[in-house]
Amino acid sequence: MNIITYPERSQWNDLLRRPTLNTATLRETVLEVLERVRTEGDKAVIEYEEKFDHVHLDSLTVSEEEFAEAEKAVSIELKAAIMLAFNNIKKFHEAQKFESKPVDTLPGVTCWQKAVAIEKVGLYVPGGTAPLFSTVLMLATPAQIAGCKEIVLCTPPNREGKIHPAILYAAKIAGVSRVFKAGGVQAIGAMAYGTSSVPKVYKIFGPGNQYVMAAKQEVSLHDVAIDMPAGPSEVAVLADETANPIFVASDLLSQAEHGVDSQSMLITTSATLIRAVTEEVERQLEELPRKEIAARSLEHSKLILIDNMELAVEMMNRYAPEHLIIETKNYHELAEKIVNAGSVFLGAYSPESAGDYASGTNHTLPTNGYAKAYSGVSLDSFIRKITFQEITKEGIATIGPAIEVMAANEYLDAHKNAVSVRLKM
């Protein structure tokens, strides 16, 4: 890990930069894959599965038999854990239901909103080195609560052409309509354009690597909506001398094991803590089965020593982390000063893992600094709000003259006339 001591403000932007791939090469590959999927459908998806995921598929669709096999393969202990997480996620997202309230802006002028579910949504669940069945719960549960009619899920299969049983079990529990064996850019293309197997959806959700993020952004230009530009995962810890170095190290490593392009950050006012965390990271790293992945991720992770907590908070808001853990003596007070973050974890006993799995909050969050402008996935992500208005004869008489004046001054005479003819009746 990289240790930086008392950096000048002029250095902050460089220090807080995320690791990136060569975007020119990346975009070229993404566009090529998307175009082939758009024009060749299933054939292209199957060929890219063989090329990128090293698996030969006869069909992209997960069968009912595979769902049944998966349910038998998941242990009772894991089923219970999945159900606990599902119930907490459901409870938290059900509390977000929109309640419409008609508003009389003037006598005879009534306006209101109606929440309507997005009819067809596509969920992308990364596979790769970890079966993220928790992401299935995070995406499908609010989609189910919102009332989406068709919930499609794409996830890469293993080299035997199978989806991890826990992913299929979670999909069934959370109300997914159909599951398809497709990963990466080709999965995003299949949901964006539609193929003979995979239906075209109206909005695509889900995290992924930089190729997936680039593909989502590309298809969002013309073909489909997306949740957010979510790329490689990241965590930042804001800590003082009271923080437990064992806890902090475990939080940094829990993020680092996601992937080699993940990033872990510690911003602290304590040099003693940095030394202790460095030692703990080295000790805990040796015990991890995913040691190689975590070690490569830590190469671009940083431990930053700052003069005071006010500056540390300012730096954290500039970084705008996906996950922020605040482990200080006055964490509630500091939390009030945080304005840019995807999800915040307060105190020594609130690890990021809780939000990743079972506390109830959603773990699909903005990365790469997008927390400055985007929220994480919520129930609102799966609905649209349609506005309604009803204006009576009394109402148009009240607001009509103002509309006429405004329309005339914008040189839109037909707009003015649509009111004028009513005022004459």
CB-facing half-sphere around the CA of 40: CA atoms within 13 A: 13
Residue-wise burial string across 126-144, b where 16 or more C-beta atoms lie within 10 A, e elsewhere = bbeeebbbbbbbbbbbbbb
Give every CB contact of residue 314 below 8 A, 6+ residues apart in sequence: none
Q: What is the pLDDT, as a whole number, of residue 129? A: 67
pLDDT above 90 (res 229)? no
Name the average pLDDT for the chain: 95
Residues annotated in a binding site for NAD(+): 124, 186, 209
Q: What is the pLDDT, as a whole number, of residue 128? A: 64
pLDDT above 80 (res 223)? yes
Mean pLDDT (whole number) for 133-162: 97
Structural domains of the chain ordered from first start: 2-16+232-360 (3.40.50.1980), 23-102+114-226 (3.40.50.1980), 392-423 (1.20.5.1300)
pLDDT above 80 (res 231)? no
Whether residue 54 lies in the annotated active site = no
Token readout for 343 is 């999800």
Q: What is the pLDDT of residues 23-51, one digit of tens each?
A: 677 899 999 999 999 999 999 999 999 99
Among 164, 323, 327, 363, the one annotated catalytic? 323
pLDDT above 70 (res 376)? yes
The pTM for the full model equals: 0.93
Q: What is the pLDDT, as a whole number, of residue 258? A: 87
Residues annotated in a binding site for Zn(2+): 255, 258, 356, 415
Among 218, 257, 322, 327, the one annotated catalytic? 322
Residues annotated in a binding site for substrate: 233, 255, 258, 323, 356, 410, 415
The Cα–Cα gap between 389 and 102 comes to 9
Q: What is the pLDDT of residues 240-277, one digit of tens each?
A: 999 999 999 999 999 999 888 889 999 999 999 999 99
Q: What is the pLDDT, as a whole number, of residue 1? A: 87
Mean pLDDT (whole number) for 64-80: 97
Mean pLDDT (whole number) for 396-416: 98
State whether residue 359 is helix, strand or coil.
coil
Q: What is the pLDDT, as a whole number, of residue 37? A: 98
With the C-alpha atoms ordered 305, 310, 315, 321, is the resulting torsion angle positive or negative?
Answer: positive
Query: Which is more confidently placed, 18 or 122?
Result: 122
Q: What is the pLDDT, as a whole number, of residue 236? A: 98
Token readout for 6 is 């008392």
The Cα–Cα gap between 266 and 247 comes to 12
Cβ contact 198:180 at 8 Å: yes
Whether residue 93 lies in the annotated active site = no
Residues annotated in a binding site: 124, 186, 209, 233, 255, 258, 323, 356, 410, 415
Token readout for 127 is 């596979």
Q: What is the pLDDT of residues 75-94, one digit of tens each?
A: 999 999 999 999 999 999 99
Determine what percent of the chain is predicted with pLDDT higher than 70: 99
Q: What is the pLDDT, as a whole number, of residue 230? A: 74
Mean pLDDT (whole number) for 376-395: 98
383, β-bridge pairs: 117
